[in-house]
Homo-oligomer: A and B are copies of this chain.
């Protein structure tokens, strides 16, 4: 694989503009902890969130939604069944779906479930280095939900995963990387405060799902999803006293984000 290219401001601006125009309806089957934050992040970007969780309803909703995100943070056996139904319905309806393999590796239920989902053609996978390594079966995972690896330690695993499942993989950390197995884009930026607020990674996965629904170069769009969140994080961090005030400033930054084209 060649060295990663930097995502340009022009690429980011193009994708963000497109997202605001398309305002995709994002079906979120996500964990208990990040529901509100995920919804508000999507709304601030002009997308529409919808959290439909019953198996039957989730299958029906594939006909309406533009994208689906599956996040296994608070998985249960019952929820995994509903998620599987939703993924299959999205697949049949030709809607892109994105996987967030939260804390995959050490915990059996979610690890087996993610392995079951991988062949179902995800449009994208978004995880931290430990999660991507575990998903590629190159590590036993992180400590809880946090990564014990730097993002660049997982680049080979990300590329292998992308090639094997013909998907895009975003491995995020201090620098984010998005790859399709041959090309790779790097997105620096963000703020350490983002790791002191619950749900920035999970919300990013929902944003990746939203951007994956846009027409055009999906690799670029998903890199832009990472770039938009990193940029808003930087802007927000400049003016706040701590992670409490960061949350509001971050959402405001997503709302007002202006990117030079």
Interface residues in chain A, defined as those with a beta carbon under 8 Å from any beta carbon in chain B: 25, 31-37, 39-40, 43-44, 48-54, 56-57, 60-61, 64-65, 73-77, 103, 106-110, 143-146, 196-199, 240-245, 247-256
Contacts and interface: CB of A to CB of B under 8 A. Distances in A.
Contact of A64 (B143, B254, B255): B143
Contacts of A51: 31-33, 73-74
Given A36-B198, A242-B251, A242-B254, 11 more contacts: A35-B36, A40-B197, A40-B247, A43-B197, A44-B196, A52-B103, A54-B109, A56-B108, A60-B108, A244-B247, A244-B251
Given A25-B144, A54-B109, A199 B242 contact: no
Given A53-B32, A54-B109, A77-B54, A243 B44 contact: yes
Contacts of A252: 240-245
Contact of A76 (B31, B53, B143, B244): B53
A73 B28 CA distance: 13
A94 to B, nearest CB: 18
Nearest to A80: B54
Contact of A144 (B65, B107, B245, B255): B65
B33 A32 contact: no
A248 to B, nearest CB: 4
26 contacts: A31-B51, A34-B36, A36-B199, A43-B198, A43-B243, A44-B196, A44-B243, A44-B244, A49-B198, A50-B103, A50-B145, A51-B73, A52-B74, A54-B75, A54-B109, A60-B107, A61-B144, A65-B144, A196-B255, A242-B251, A242-B253, A243-B252, A244-B247, A244-B252, A244-B255, A245-B251
Contact of A242 (B44, B103, B196, B245): B44
A51 B72 CA distance: 11
Contacts of A244: 40, 44, 247-255
